[in-house]
Amino acid sequence: MRLELKHWLVLHALHHHPTVYAAADSLSISQSALSHRLAEAERRLDIALFERDGRRLKITPAGESLTQTALQILPLLERAEADARDWAKDTQHLVRIGIASYNHFAWLGEFIHHLNQVLPTVQLELVASANQHPSTSLLESQVDLVLAPGEFDHRGLCVTPLFQDELVLLTHPHHQLATKAYISPADLEFESYFSYSRDSLPGFEYERFIRPSGVIPRLTKLVEMPDAIIELINANLGTSILSRWANAAAINAGKVIAIPLGNKGLSLQWSCLTRSNETRHSTVKQVEQRLQAWFTQHKNLDMSPRRYAQPGTGEQISYAFAHTHFGLLAMAATDKGVCFVQFGASKAALIEQLKAEFPQANIQPSSQNTSPVLAAWTRALSDYLNQQGPKPDLPLDMRGTAFQTQVWKYLLSIKDNNRVSYADVANSIGKPSAHRAVANACGKNSIAILVPCHLVLRSDGSAGGYRWGSEKKQALLEANL
């Protein structure tokens, strides 16, 4: 090697400081000493690293190439020295970790408990800079490991897949799009849309969903903090496409509604980023391995299962029809129980609705011969609605967010068809301010009558809305069903 450490330090200092004086001061040497080292480096390499531009130094392409290398190797050398001292002292090993784009740390406490058991000498330190600039923070050794969504292609990074998430449109519970089974790009044309990034990032919604359609939202506002976007959506000021996993708390609390993008959903890959020159058995790589194993084991923890993105994937669903005093009804079931009870104007319309809610399922009609159990269930519900039998107690396969399921389970506990208000339900599940979200959960219920959302009224005693029409709700209440 022709250059010594002191020459690399000069390049590093000149990159981080605006003047020669400041760079020299950071190295605790004089300006003339810095100029001497720089000239010595140029003589040894027989190339120009900087050119004079008046009183300023202008870096050459060769100088820029060496500087970028200095930015990578010097922090690594510092870290290697620190690791060596720690190993010699048998002290704790510090790994600096960050999460890109989002401030979602609901998983972190449990992972730290796990890490304390398997790697007790390792401590994690959270680094905020990785949120906005994960690649730069890694390459400049400000952080050692970053959880990041999207696609990455950088020669200085090692990318290890962790889990599949889903990009979803987030809306206010009362937004006009909130009741849709999924959205298309055309649905965004007249919307106020919040974007958290100035750039079109690979692997995200603009490249994969919005731009191919040629549709541009009416008004796009830049808000570079996803947490702030959630609050703006909760105030019904617009919509945004964000990670389901990173916003699970707001979705499950009913603050916002998550709607899939397209009938197949839009996946989002989360990965663990480290520097490509990390040694195979370094502490950072050990944490990366533990992180990957932990997310594999806890793949459904606070995350969107595949059934959210592609409801019914790989499942067999049978359906049957019944004519009742309240109109034509369809019931459908999986091997776990009833997943669909809805009223409709025609059999064709009900089949289309069933396919829209379970687009990836194998949906087949039933009969007394092929599905005797479902036929019996349908007949029992029809008898109940026609007031010719008791309400059937059937197994249910409810599909929804944690908050929606909590609301529906409470409705199942209502005795003797007693009426309750949306506020009563919110108070009973421990979320007194979520009465609007309760109303939305009732509107999302796909299992009519068996999950008795028609029993939930407004605080003034009026019937309120109903997924299958206010008149049908009023008729059910008058029949005391």
Let me know if 288 is exposed, middle or buried by CB neighbors in 10 A (0-12, 13-18, 19+).
buried
Which among 167, 218, 214 is positioned nearest to 194, based on CA atoms? 218
Q: Which residue has the tokens 């617009």?
A: 238
Count of Cβ atoms closer than 10 Å to residue 73 Cβ: 15
Distant-in-sequence, close-in-space partners of 424: CB < 8 Å, separation ≥ 6: none
Which among 69, 62, 33, 31 is positioned nearest to 46, based on CA atoms? 62
pTM beyond cutoff 0.85? no
Full set of structural domains in the chain with CATH: 5-72 (1.10.10.10), 92-309 (3.40.190.290), 316-385 (3.30.160.70), 402-478 (1.10.10.10)
**β-sheet bridge partners, residue 157:** 275
What are the b/e assignments for 328-366, b being 16+ CB within 10 Å? Answer: bbbbbbbeeebbbbbbbeeeeebbebbbebbbbbebeeb
**β-sheet bridge partners, residue 322:** 329
Q: How many residues comprise the chain? A: 481
Query: Is 272 known to be catalytic?
Result: no
Distant-in-sequence, close-in-space partners of 15: CB < 8 Å, separation ≥ 6: 67, 70, 71
Distances (CA, A) of 320 to 145, 332, 342, 369: 53, 6, 11, 12
Q: Per residue of the chain (481 residues), what is the pLDDT tens digit?
A: 889 999 999 999 998 888 888 999 999 999 999 999 999 999 999 999 998 877 778 899 999 999 988 988 888 788 777 767 665 555 568 899 999 888 888 888 888 888 888 888 888 988 887 887 888 888 888 899 999 998 877 778 899 988 888 899 999 888 888 877 788 889 988 889 998 877 666 667 888 888 888 888 878 888 888 999 999 999 999 999 999 989 988 887 778 888 888 888 888 889 999 998 888 888 999 999 999 888 877 654 434 434 444 455 557 899 999 999 999 999 999 888 899 999 999 999 999 999 888 887 888 888 655 567 788 889 989 999 998 888 888 888 888 887 888 899 899 888 878 899 999 999 998 888 888 888 888 988 999 999 999 999 988 888 888 899 889 999 999 998 8
Half-sphere CA count of 243, side-chain side, radius 13 A: 25
Which among 6, 74, 1, 66 is positioned nearest to 40, based on CA atoms? 6
Distances (CA, A) of 460 to 420, 432, 457, 468: 11, 17, 8, 21
Q: CA 21 to CA 234: how far, in whole Å?
A: 51
Could you tell me the two tokens for 194? Answer: 């919040």
Cα 10 to its chain centre, rounded Å, is 43
Candidates 158, 272, 339, 453; catalytic one: 453
